[in-house]
Structure 1
Amino acid sequence: MSYSALTQHFQQQYHLQHIAAMCGWDQATMMPAGGNQARSEAMSTLAVLSHQQLQAPQLAQWFSAAQAESLTPEQQVSLAVMQRQWRDATMLPSDLVGAFSLAGSRCEHAWRSLRPANDWAGFLPLFEEVLNLSRQVAAARSEALGLSYYDSLLEQFEPGMRSATLDPLFNDVKQWLPGLITQVQAKQSAEQVQLPQGPFATSHQKALGLEVMKLLGFDFNHGRLDVSVHPFCGGVSEDVRLTTRYDENDVAQALMGVIHETGHARYEQSLPAQWRSLPVGQARSMGIHESQSLFFEMQLARHPAFIAKLAPLLSHHFGEQTAFSSDNLAKLYTRVQPGLIRVDADELTYPAHVMLRYEIERDLIEGKLQAKDLPERWDNLMQQYLGLSTKGNYKDGCMQDIHWTDGSFGYFPSYTLGALYAAQQAKAIQTELGTFDHLISTDLSSIFSWLQRNIWQHASLLETDALITQACGQPLNACAFKLHLEQRYLGA
C-alpha cells in the first residue's frame, strides 16, 4: 500500500529530525566553541539529506495512489499533513536549504558573543546573509503557495494564519493595551513590594526548578534540564530537552523560565504515542505550542493559588524571608513595569514586544526595511509602544532575540497568539471544572487532564481553528485575554 510506504518514509524523516534536534541541543549547551564550524557544516549536510529525502521522486506517485486507498479518517488527515510537509520541501532547492542552514548556524553561534559585546557592526554582515537567504526562501514559498512573502513564512509556524487575520487582531489589542498598562501601573504605585535578597546559588535554583517541574508533571524518564544562553525546549517527544539560564541575583528569571519551558515539554511528552513518529502526531502550530508554555507560566504559575505552593519551596531552598510570603510574591510576580527585554517582560507588556517584532520582521521580509536600518526602527517602535529607548543599546534592542539569527521569520506572532489561546483555555477549564483557586489548591492534575483531552491528544489531527473552537467553544479572539488581564491586575 502506498500509504504504508509513505508512513515508513516519514518515520525515517522523524529519525533524522531526532538527530538534528540533539545536535542542536548539544550545540547550544555542551559543545566547545571551537567545534562550531564543523557542527554547522554537519547540520547543514543533515538538513540537505533530510530535504532530499522529502524530494524523493517516488513520493508523488505514492501520494497519488494513496488518495484512492481505503483509509480511516485519521489516516486521511495523516496523509494530508504528510502531503503538506512534502509540498513545503519541494518548493525549495537543496542548495538553498543547505546555504540557509549554514548561514543560520554561523550567525546564531556568533550572536552568543557579539550580543554581550553590543557589537552590531560585527553582527550586521552575518545577519544580512541570513536575511538575504530568508527572502529567497520566502520568494520560493510565495510563488508555490500564492501568498505574500511574509505569509508564506508565517505558514510554516502557523498553518492557515495570515497577516490579514493578525492585523485586526493585533490592532484590537493595541487599542486597549496602553490604557490598561497605565491603569495598572497607577494602581500598583501605591503597593509595597519587597524584593527577595540574594545571592541565590545556581545549584539551589536548579534544585528548585527540578522540584517545580515534578509538581507540574514533567516526566524525567523522557527529558532533562540544562543551561543555555537562551532558554528553549527541544529534542523529541521521547526525549525532551529543556534549558534555562541562571542569574544569582534574580531567582524569578530562571524559575519562571523553567515553568514556561515545562509547558512546552508537557505538550511534547503528551502527544499521542501511536502517531508520534509521523507529522500528524506532532504539534499543530507554534501558537498552540506557545499556548501551553504561557498557560503554565502565566495562567497557572502567577495565579495566587500556585504562588502559595511556590512560597514554601523558595523558603526551603533559600531560607526564610518576608519577601517569600505568598502575598508579597503574588504582587512581585504580577508587577507591571515596561522594560527592554522581551523574555523578562511582565504579562501585560509582553504583547507590545511581540507586535513590535511582528511589524519589523514583516517589513524585513517584504523588503520594506533593510537590515542596516533595523536599530532605528526598533528604537522608534520601542518608544512608541513602551516609552523606552534602545538608541545605541543593540544587545538590549534588536540583537536580544535568537530567532532572527537562524532565519526564524514568521515565528514571533506565535507568542501573542499563544497568550490569547491560553486565556481561552483557562476560561473554558474554569467554566467546566471550577475556579483555579479550587483546582490549583486541591486538584492540579484535573487541569492537566483537561489539556490532555482537549489539546495534547489531538496533535495535528485537527486544524487550529477547529481545535480551539472544539476545546473552548469559540474561535480565536482577544476577549478572554482582555478579561483575564482586567481581572488579575485591576480586580475588575
Structure 2
Amino acid sequence: MTAHPAYTALERRFARVSALGDAIGILDWDSQTTMPAGAAAGRAEQLATLRVLSHETMTAPDMGELIDQAEREMQAADGDAEIRHWQQANLREMRRQWIHANAVPSDLVEASSRAISASEMAWRTARAENDFPALLPYLREVLTLQRRIAEAKADLLGTGLYDALLDQYEPEGRSAKIDLLFADLAEFLPGFIQSVLDHQAAQPPVIVPEGPFPVDTQRRMGEALMKAIGFDFTRGRLDVSLHPFCGGATGDVRLTTRYEEGDFTSALMGVLHETGHAMYELGRPAAWLTQPVGAARGMALHESQSLIVEMQACRSPHFLRYAAPLLREAFGGTGPAWTEENLYRLYTRVERGFIRVDADEATYPAHVILRYRLEKALIEGAMDLADLPDAWNEGMRDLLGIVPPDDRRGCLQDIHWPSGAWGYFPTYTMGAIAAAQLFDSCRTAVPKMEEGLARGDFGPLIGWLRANVHSLGSVDTTDGILARATGRGLDAEVYKRHLRRRYLRAEE
C-alpha cells in the first residue's frame, strides 16, 4: 500500500482532468481552424459535455477532504526533499484549482460553456460585418455569467470580482499591483511614444518591401524559423485561424497564424510569437505533465516566453543578421529594402494603430491598458456593455490619440471577451515586463547568447529559459520564478530601459 493514499488518489484524479483538458484543447483548436460551420451546434454540445465531466471530477464530494488528508500526509512524510517540495507545491495548486472549480455549480459551468460557444460564432460574423449590435445579446449573456462566476469565486478567495477572474489566468495576481505597474507605464508611454515618433521622423524613411508575398512562401519561411528556434514538428503543427493562438494538448501543440499576401511581417512575427508559447509548453517538467504543478505558471510568464522569442530576440539586430539573407532568398528580395538595417527598422517601426495584434512594442501596452480598464469596469458594473463602443473609442483617443473608424477595428477585434476570457488582458503587458527582465538576465548569464542569435542558434537562449522557467512549471509563484532568474519580482524598470535602448538608441 502506498504511504500516501490520499495524495496518490488526487494525482490520479488530476491526471484524468488533464486528459479531459487535452481533448477540449484539440476540439477547440479544430473549431477555430478546420471545423465546418454547420458543425458548430454539435461541437458546442461536445465541449459542454467534456467541461462538465472535468468540473464534476474536480467537485466530487470527497475532493476537499482528500486534499486535507493529503496535506496531513505530506506534513508527516519523509524521503527525498526535492520530490516532497514538488508534491507540496502540487497540493497547493490542487487546492487552488479546487477552490476555483468548487465555487461554481455544474449548471453554471454548462450555461457558460454554451454561451461562450454561441458568442464565439456570433463574434466571427459580427466582426466580419462590423455589427456590434448583433454580438451584443450574446456577449451580454457571457458577461452576466462571468459576473456570477466571479461572485462565487470572490467569496472563497477573499477577493474582489475582477481579481477572482484574474486569478484564473495569473495565480495570486491582484489588480492593486497591476494598477501600480500600469499607472507607471501610463505616465511613461505618451511622452516616450512621441519621442520615438520624433526620432523616427528625423531618420531616412523606412523602405517597405514590395509584394506580393505568396502565402506558401510565408508558411515555409515561418516553419523554417520555428525549426531554428527548436520547435519539434513531431509534437505540433502550424495552421491558419482568424485570430493567432497556441493551443492543442500535452505533447501536441497547435499553433496558428493568419496571412496577408501584401505583408509578410505580420504573419511571420505571429508565428514567432506563438512559437515562444509552444516552446514553454514543450519544455514543461516531464515528470509532472499531468499534474497542476507541471503546468505553466500563469499567463504573465507564458506571455513572457512568446515575447522573448518575438520581441526580445527576433526583432533584435543580432537576429536580423541571420534572418535577412533568408528573407531575401525566400522572397527574391533585392535592393535597399532588404538590407539588415532597413529590415531592423521595419520590424521596430512605431506607429499609432487600431489593431492590438498588429501593434508595435512601444504602443502595445496602451492597447492592453485600455482593455484592462474596460473589462474591469464591466465586471464591476461601473459601465454598461452597450456603452462599450463609445468607451473604447474614447479610451483609444486618450491613450493613443486615434479613434477607430468602425467597431471592426475597435471593440470587435479581439475574441477574448466572447470566448469568456475576462481578466486575461493585463497578463500581456505583465508578460512584456517579465520578458525584458528575463532576456536581460540571460544576456548577463550567457554572454554569447546574442552572438548565437546572429547565427540562428537559439540553443543558449532556449536552454537558459528551460532551466530557469520552463522546467519549473508551477513549483513557485510568478514573482518567485522571476526572483530566482532575475533577482527581482515583476518590475517595469528593465522594460522601460529596454524600450529606450531599442527605440531611441539610448544607452543607460
Q: So what's the TM-score if we normalise by structure 1? A: 0.98
Distance in 2 of aligned mates of 1:73 and 1:434:
32
**Partner-residue secondary structure (3-state), 1:115:** helix
Structure 1 residues 397-436: aligned runs within 5 Å: 397-434=410-447
Pairwise CA distance, 1:61: 2.4
Question: Which of 315, 326, 329 does residue 302 from structure 1 map onto?
Answer: 315
Tell me whether 60-69 or 123-132 shows the greater mean CA deviation.
60-69
Which residue matches 1:159?
A: 171
Residue number in structure 1 paired with 2:81: none
Paired amino acid for 1:243: T
Are 1:116 and 2:120 counterparts?
no
What are the ranges of 5 or more consecutive residues in structure 2 without an aligned counterpart? Answer: 79-83
1:237, 1:271 within 8 Å by CA — same for their partners in 2?
no
* 1:370 aligns with one of 362, 384, 402: 384
1:194 corresponds to 2:207: yes
Measured in 1, the distance between the counterparts of 2:122 and 2:374 equals 22
Of residues 334, 339, 353, the one that matches 1:321 is 334
Once structures 1 and 2 are overlaid, which stretch shifts more, 255-264 or 448-457? 448-457
SS at 2:255 equivalent: strand
Correspondence 1:283 to 2:287: no
Match of 2:362 among 313, 334, 348: 348
Give the letter aligned to residue 61 of structure 1.
E
**In 2, Cα distance between equivalents of 1:67 and 1:389:** 54
Give the CA deviation at 1:317: 1.6
| Conserved 8 A contact 1:114-1:122 | yes
Q: Which residue of 2 aligns with 1:361?
A: 375
Tell me which residue corresponds to 1:106.
118
What code does the residue aligned with 2:59 have? Q
Distance in 1 (alpha carbons) for counterparts of 2:481 and 2:331: 42
CA distance in 2, matches of 1:340, 1:39: 33
Indicate conservation of the 8 Å contact 1:236/1:268, yes or no: no
Contact 1:196 1:321 in 2 (8 A): no
**Equivalent residue number for residue 273 of structure 2:** 260
Which shows bigger deviation, 126-135 or 346-355?
126-135
1:219-298 pair list within 5 angstroms: 219-298=232-311
Please give the per-residue CA displacement for 1:411-443, whole angstroms capped at 9, x wherever unaligned: 000000000000000111112222654242255
Q: Which consecutive aligned stretches of 4+ in structure 1 deviate over 6 angstroms post-superposition?
A: none
SS for the counterpart of 2:418 is helix
Amino acid at match of 2:451: H
Distance 1:214 1:237 in 2: 19
Equivalent in the alignment of 1:462: 476
Deviation sequence 1:192-248 (CA, Å, 0-9, x none): 211111111111111011001001110111000000000000012310000000011
Q: Distance in 2 between matches of 1:145 and 1:320?
A: 56
1:452 corresponding residue in structure 2 = 466
What's 1:438 paired with? Answer: 451
Q: Percent identity?
A: 47
Q: Indicate the RMSD between aligned Cα atoms, in angstroms.
A: 1.1
Give the conservation status (yes or no) of the 8 Å contact 1:284–1:463: yes
Match of 2:189 in 1: 177
- Residue 203 of structure 1 aligns with which residue? 216
2:398 paired residue among 384, 387, 403 = 384
Q: Which moved more, 1:437-446 or 1:142-151?
A: 437-446
- 2:58 counterpart residue number: 54
Deviation at 1:58, TM superposition (A): 2.2
Q: For residues 192 and 64 of structure 2, what CA distance do their matches in structure 1 show?
A: 53
For 2:118 and 2:244, the matched residues in 1 are separated by: 19
SS of 1:404 mapped into structure 2? coil
Describe the shift of the 1:173–1:399 C-alpha distance in structure 2 as closer, same or farther (beyond 3 A): same
Residues of 2 paired with 1:200 and 1:110: CA distance?
31
Shift of 1:377: 0.5
Q: Which amino acid aligns with 1:30?
A: T
Cα pair distance change 1:437/1:11, threshold 3 Å? closer
Residues 291 and 422 in structure 1, CA contact (< 8 A), matched pair in contact too: yes
**1:321 counterpart SS class:** coil
Alignment of 1:17-36 (within 5 A): 17-36=21-40
8 Å CA contact retained: 1:288, 1:421: yes
5+ residue gaps, structure 1, are none
1:36 and 1:274 map into 2 onto residues whose CA distance is 36
Normalised to the residue count of structure 2, the TM-score between the two structures is 0.95
